[in-house]
């Protein structure tokens, strides 16, 4: 008698080649494109499954774990894992994995794209043009703020923060400052030409503040009215980390009153819902959480999540475990 193959759920539609790979190892239930499960539906779909391939949109918390006692692994297609209650997963003996490294450069490219679009008013001016409002050219038409040679302040100096720093320092001759939980070693600081400063100094000195820190419970509203008040009136704020890091109401007020020049946001506290205040101010560039969205990178992320599922459910090991103590208690 052959042992039955493990059953897994792909909780959100993935590329055909990823599903094909998984079907070589598992009984796979996939999710059609455009279908998104509520927490109750997700728990129902996971009945009898030992593995789940998730995205940032699926929460794996104590309630889900209690409803799905057979679950052994949740493989997130994301480097961030704030949708996982990791202590609860560890307590339930469920492994969590993420997708570091494969998205670093692509996400840094987008961070820079958003910075450029925000500083140089790309979206705002395009809306103006499309609305047929362009009648005359003038010297100050959509005059923005400088990028090259300006001061780039990076909050959160992990892999993506360093990749953004390299672009700023080497590509745009920017003066790079950063703040992080721990200071980088001298070699890494030299590679990014970055100088460590306090959080207060970062907000006060930067012409462009870029947020790339992980979203832990203590990071909630790291950027609130007080931090925004420290920023220069000509400064921009770019968020490609997680929406909850910024107090969006405080940001809307600052943008409306032009206390800072502009903001570029790829992430939102209640996404996919967007704070209506943000939709009502012109000096903000808004994108729907697409910083890692190129086909090669999203494929690499999904393949890494697939490889984690295969490695763990067939060989008891994982490539990028978040709570390795589940594997080797």
Binding region for ligand 8YV (CB under 6 A) = 55-56, 77-80, 103, 291-292
Is 55 in contact with 78 (CB distance < 8 Å)?
yes
CB of 244 to ligand 8YV, least distance (A): 13
Nearer to ligand 8YV, 78 or 313 (CB): 78
Nearer to ligand 8YV, 254 or 285 (CB): 285
Closest by CA to 191, choosing from 220, 218, 215, 163, is 163
Looking at the Cβ atoms of 180 and 292, the one nearer to ligand 8YV is 292
**136: annotated active-site residue:** no
**Exactly one of 227, 242, 248, 298 is catalytic; which is it?**
242
Comparison of 79 and 281: residue with beta carbon closer to ligand 8YV: 79
Find the catalytic residue in 121, 167, 208, 289.
289
In the block, tokens 């207060």 appear at 200
Least separation in angstroms between residue 126's CB and ligand 8YV is: 25
Of 271, 298, 315, 317, the active-site residue reads 271
Query: Is residue 271 annotated as a catalytic residue, yes or no?
Result: yes
Nearest residue (beta carbon) to ligand 8YV:
80
Distance CA 151, CA 133 (A): 33
For the chain, strand residue ranges (E) read: 7-10, 27-29, 51-54, 73-76, 95-97, 151-155, 175-179, 194-196, 208-211, 236-239, 262-265, 284-286
242 is catalytic: yes
| Residue 223, phi then psi, degrees to nearest 5 | -110, 100
Minimum CB distance to ligand 8YV, residue 18 (Å):
14
CB of 56 to ligand 8YV, least distance (A): 3
Dist CA 252 CA 274 (whole Å): 12
Minimum distance from CB of 143 to ligand 8YV (Å)? 32
User: In residues, how long is the chain?
Assistant: 329
Per DSSP, the three-state class of 201 is: helix
Cβ-Cβ contacts under 8 Å for 292 (sequence gap 6 or more): 78, 103, 106, 107, 110, 298, 301
Residue number, 150 or 297, with CB nearest to ligand 8YV = 297
- Which residues participate in catalysis according to the annotation? 242, 271, 289
């Amino acid at each position: 008698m052959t042992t039955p193959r493990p059953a897994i759920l792909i909780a959100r539609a993935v590329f055909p080649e990823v599903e094909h790979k998984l079907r070589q190892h598992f009984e796979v239930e996939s999710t059609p494109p455009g279908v998104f499960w509520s927490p109750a539906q997700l728990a129902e779909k996971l009945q009898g499954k030992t593995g789940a391939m998730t995205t940032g949109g699926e929460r794996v918390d104590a309630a889900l774990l209690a409803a799905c006692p057979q679950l052994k692994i949740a493989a997130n297609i994301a480097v961030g894992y704030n949708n996982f209650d990791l202590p609860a997963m560890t307590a339930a003996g469920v492994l969590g994995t993420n997708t570091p490294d494969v998205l670093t450069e692509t996400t840094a490219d987008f961070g820079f794209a958003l910075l450029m679009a925000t500083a140089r008013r790309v979206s705002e001016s395009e809306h103006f043009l499309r609305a047929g409002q362009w009648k005359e050219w003038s010297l100050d038409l959509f005059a923005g703020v400088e990028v090259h040679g300006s001061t780039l302040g990076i909050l959160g100096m992990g892999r993506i923060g360093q990749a953004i720093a390299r672009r700023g320092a080497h590509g745009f001759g920017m003066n790079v400052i950063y703040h992080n939980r721990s200071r980088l070693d001298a070699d890494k600081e030299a590679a990014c030409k970055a100088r460590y400063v306090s959080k207060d100094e970062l907000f006060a000195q930067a012409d462009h503040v870029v947020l790339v820190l992980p979203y832990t419970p203590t990071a909630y509203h790291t950027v609130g009215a007080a931090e925004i008040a420290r920023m220069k009136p000509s400064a921009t704020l770019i968020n490609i980390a997680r929406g909850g890091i910024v107090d969006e109401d405080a940001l809307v007020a600052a943008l409306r009153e032009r206390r800072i020049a502009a903001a570029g946001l790829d992430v939102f506290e209640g996404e996919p819902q967007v704070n209506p205040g943000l939709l009502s101010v012109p000096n903000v560039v808004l994108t729907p959480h697409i910083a890692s969205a190129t086909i090669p990178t999203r494929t690499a992320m999904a393949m890494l999540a697939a490889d984690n599922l295969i490695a763990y459910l067939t060989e008891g090991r994982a490539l990028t475990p978040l709570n390795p103590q589940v594997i080797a208690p």
